Amino acid sequence: MTAIFNFQSLLLVILLIICTSTYVHDLFPSILDRNKDGLMGIFWKCARIGERLSPYVSIFCIAMACSMILGY
């Protein structure tokens, strides 16, 4: 199955995009700040979500890791 049709995989992909965008924005802020519109704007918005809601994102990452380990 692809990540589009499997809900757990889709959530995992979204979490990975949020975490990766936040990490890239922390290292190179000018890359995402100059591309706030268009397709690259999605990554800028994901970086903002990761920065502002980082406790919740980390909780969801831990929950997804536990669910992957347990096989749910």
- The DSSP string of 39-52 is THHHHHHHHHHHHH
Check whether 72 has a pLDDT greater than 70: no
DSSP 37: S
d(CA 68, CA 36): 33
Q: What pLDDT is stored for residue 4 in this prediction?
A: 64
Q: What pLDDT is stored for residue 23 in this prediction?
A: 92
- Tokens encoding 50: 């990761």
- Tokens encoding 47: 């970086």
pLDDT tens across 25-71, in order?
999 888 888 888 888 889 999 999 998 988 888 888 888 888 878 87
> Which has more confidence, 7 or 28?
28
d(CA 13, CA 7): 10
CB-based contact 49:18 (threshold 8 Å): yes
DSSP 34: T
